[in-house]
Structure 1
Amino acid sequence: MTKHSIQSLQIGMHWFPERAGGLDRMYYSLVGALPGAGVQVRGVVAGSPKVAEDSNGAIQGFGSAARALPFRLMDARRALRREIRSHRPDVISSHFALYTFPGLDVTRGIPQVSHFQGPWADESFVEGAATLSQRIKHSLEQSVYERSSRLIVLSKAFGDILTKRYAISPDRVRIVPGCVDTAHFDPACTRAEARLRLQLPQNRPIVLAVRRLVRRMGLEDLIDAIKVVKQRHPDVLLLIAGRGRLEAELQQRIDEAGLTDNVRLLGFVPDAQLPSLYRAATLSIVPTVALEGFGLITVESLSAGTPVLVTPVGGLPEAVAGLSQDLVLPETGAAAIAEGIDAAFSGRIKLPDEEACKTYARENFDNAVIAKRVADVYAEAIAAANSGVH
């Protein structure tokens, strides 16, 4: 724990109430919890003037995320310069390299910590970005990470990416998992009450996947797996919550497989309804095929008392293995997913009960727990700068 208050400037991507995303939720959770760990927070994100209202003036929206990129970068730089002139921080905390990069000259001389929440360039490439675009993004990220004296990763898997893809010394990398407000995801209702509230069937086994509808999430495999699971569990119901460009393609896959009674695309689910949706499910699943640093939805589900099966990709196994190794599927793909769901429904693997899931999430990933660990990394970066050691 830090001995005295640290003044931090937190550079984010978007403000979670305005834009729903894993990085944005993590930023939102962390900036809310850090003051309790002795870290005072100011910050900038791409967002509207309402950001300042929501945060009591602590976080400033420097402009719409829909603005053309060159203007956004100029806006970010102006916002950083303004913040540093009025409230010079002890540490710069970068959660998104794109908006940190244009202010590298402005922030020079201030200790910097980067929260590495994924290889932005590689993720873009997996989703179809051009090779040139990937190279530019990678170079931009590299500049920001090289400036940082400490880098926080969500898992050992992402630490390996940081050291191998970006040539960052392991001595500067610290593993701190993602955080959630575990109390928020623990609604005061039973599974039956949650299903009644959401107008879901009471007597069917429900599998939940909360994912962006993009290629690397493995949703095609999941739908194919349900076709197999249906043979032994004809009343299985898969709910997929989220939006993305694969929506029409996934719906066509569902229709062609004859799964319209077994798979539903829910679209965007408001944050206020997510805890009840997790509680209503028999189990959650994360079928990712590439680049998953942590999988915040694993902890959200566990916080609601619902066990979660994950593919052995990136940091997913690290997020759940401390609770039960049985939650980690042996491989990616429809066959492994189908086998895992069937084994859970049939009792061949013993899923942790509701209380075990909640306790594990609360003790290991609650906002307050993680904020203290992040504060220690900030203090370490400041001490290193003061001693002249990078």
Structure 2
Amino acid sequence: MDGRLILPGCLHPRETPSVSLLQLGLGWFPETHGGAENVFYHLARHLPHQGVAVAGLVLGRASAVLDGGARIDSFAPPTAPLPQRLAAARAAVAAALRRQPPDLVASHFALNTLPALPALRDRPLVVHFHGPWALESAAEGAGALSVRLKLLVERLVYRRATRFVVLSRAFATILTERYGVPPDRISRVPGGVDAGRFDLPDDRAAARARLGWPQGRPVVLTVRRLVRRMGLAALVDAMVELCRRVPDALLLVAGRGPEAAALQDRIGALGLENHVRLLGFVPDAQLPLAYRAADLCVMPSQSLEGFGITALESLAAGTPLLVTPVGGLPEVVEELDGDLVLAGSDARSIGAGLAEALIGSRRMPDAAACRALVRHRFDWPVIAARTAAVYRDTLS
């Protein structure tokens, strides 16, 4: 039930018919930095090089024409009230369909697609399933009514879809078991990363000097949104065991979110002020340097982790990482020669795994192997080619 894995083939844009695509997204990646926004933005950049002409609609503050020729327009500002946003999405999609009818439509967020369904009529719709919106909300403590409404929105849109694209086998299973989508309508295309942007010439010491990080300490980095299911509370707890075995270890947490205050309180209660630092938001331009400066990265997710683009970013920088056995995370590292999947997602398993990696008793891949995996399997041109193959298959 993992969907059909779309692999790079012999397709070349000059040898295949062109396809016109209307992408419906959530936010605009230069303004908001979520996983769905990341995928939308990079597909818009790279699909034109695969013979797919792209127009896009997102929540945002400005319009843009990307270097590949894709035009992305805002249908409403991110702060617009929900009724205004939905009405604007409906009007913008209808106008786009009248102006230049696309061969197919790709949805990256169910709520922004829902009001456009009547205008789409029988046009093929591909849903990029970035995660179960309702289930994620429930995991973060949303009320029962909110969760039910989100589930209804998802089901209305998914019922209309021709094809689904998922990031991992784990999400293919959720689509089938929780939403009743037949496996033969699911294609698996992993997330991507701009491999060249993260492959810096700086060595670890130079990267730390530029960031002002300490030179003499083993540094573990995690780049996460600070919400419950990301496992940051368990990671902070794991530092007690790690510091027992590696006394000078330092954990740096990059990201922001509603759990920041609770995490800081937890750090203080455990006496870990000298071993755990919350960095807050790290600008996108500094992330390659941050990954390069770390000895090790970790993704301690507890639930509903569909893939983990930050895992790819770490590997692209040549920095190995450990992941919990949750969702699609093991799929990111399964081809690397190393023991990169932790025994569990609890604090004890995380702490023991980090300690073993830092003292050298756990098998880890070298920087060259990490970079090579990303270049060959996860670089955005490779992912765009796989996605274009799904679109052409849908039209055929």
Superposition TM-score, scaled by structure 1 size:
0.96
Does structure 1 residue 289 correspond to structure 2 residue 302? yes
**Equivalent residue number for residue 152 of structure 1:** 165
The amino acid of 2:303's aligned partner reads A
**Equivalent residue number for residue 324 of structure 2:** 311
Distance 1:53 1:38 in 2: 17
Does structure 1 residue 236 correspond to structure 2 residue 246? no
Does structure 1 residue 123 correspond to structure 2 residue 136? yes
**Equivalent residue number for residue 274 of structure 2:** 261
- SS class of match (2:165): strand
Residues 197-236 of structure 1 mapped to structure 2, 5 A cutoff: 197-236=210-249
The alpha carbon displacement at 1:324 in A equals 3.5
Distance 1:314 1:60 in 2: 33
The alpha carbon displacement at 1:39 in A equals 0.9
Does structure 1 residue 192 correspond to structure 2 residue 224? no
Aligned counterpart in structure 1 of residue 115 of structure 2, from 98, 102, 105: 102
Q: Is the 8 A contact 2:48 2:70 kept in 1?
A: no
Distance 1:221 1:254 in 2: 11
Distance 1:85 1:323 in 2: 48
The alpha carbon displacement at 1:215 in A equals 0.4
**Equivalent residue number for residue 168 of structure 1:** 181
Q: Tell which deviates more after alignment, 133-142 or 55-64.
A: 55-64
**Equivalent residue number for residue 276 of structure 1:** 289
Aligned counterpart in structure 1 of residue 64 of structure 2, from 33, 40, 52: 52
**Equivalent residue number for residue 134 of structure 1:** 147
Distance 2:167 2:65 in 1: 30
Does structure 1 residue 38 correspond to structure 2 residue 61? no
Alignment gaps of 5+ in structure 1: 384-390
Distance 2:70 2:81 in 1: 26
Identity, in percent, stands at: 50
Q: Is the 8 A contact 1:311 1:329 kept in 2?
A: yes
The amino acid of 2:76's aligned partner reads G
Distance 1:301 1:316 in 2: 13
Q: Tell which deviates more after alignment, 51-60 or 65-74.
A: 51-60
The alpha carbon displacement at 1:271 in A equals 0.3
Distance 1:54 1:89 in 2: 18
Structure 1 residues 313 and 325, CA gap change in structure 2 (3 angstroms): farther
**Equivalent residue number for residue 386 of structure 1:** none
Distance 1:263 1:58 in 2: 43
- SS class of match (1:359): helix
The amino acid of 1:5's aligned partner reads S
Does structure 1 residue 353 correspond to structure 2 residue 366? yes
CA deviation vs aligned residue, 1:171-206 (integer Å, no higher than 9, x gap) = 100110001111111122111111010001112111
Distance 2:207 2:65 in 1: 32
CA deviation vs aligned residue, 1:218-269 (integer Å, no higher than 9, x gap) = 0000001011110111110100000001111100111111111111100000
The alpha carbon displacement at 1:54 in A equals 6.2
Moved over 4 A (4+): 53-57
Distance 2:185 2:79 in 1: 34
Q: Is the 8 A contact 1:294 1:316 kept in 2?
A: yes
Q: Tell which deviates more after alignment, 316-325 or 192-201.
A: 316-325
Aligned counterpart in structure 2 of residue 88 of structure 1, from 67, 76, 101: 101
The amino acid of 1:30's aligned partner reads L
Distance 2:184 2:34 in 1: 30
Alignment gaps of 5+ in structure 2: 1-10
Q: Is the 8 A contact 1:30 1:179 kept in 2?
A: no
Structure 1 residues 123 and 179, CA gap change in structure 2 (3 angstroms): same
Structure 1 residues 95 and 253, CA gap change in structure 2 (3 angstroms): same
Q: Is the 8 A contact 2:204 2:293 kept in 1?
A: yes
RMSD across aligned positions (CA): 1.2
Superposition TM-score, scaled by structure 2 size:
0.94
The alpha carbon displacement at 1:64 in A equals 1.2
- SS class of match (1:11): strand
Q: Is the 8 A contact 2:45 2:70 kept in 1?
A: no
Q: Tell which deviates more after alignment, 23-32 or 267-276.
A: 23-32
Q: Tell which deviates more after alignment, 316-325 or 115-124.
A: 316-325
The amino acid of 1:248's aligned partner reads A
Does structure 1 residue 334 correspond to structure 2 residue 366? no
The amino acid of 1:308's aligned partner reads L
**Equivalent residue number for residue 387 of structure 1:** none
**Equivalent residue number for residue 192 of structure 2:** 179
Distance 1:108 1:241 in 2: 44
Q: Is the 8 A contact 1:26 1:180 kept in 2?
A: no
Q: Tell which deviates more after alignment, 365-374 or 344-353.
A: 344-353
Q: Is the 8 A contact 1:30 1:371 kept in 2?
A: yes
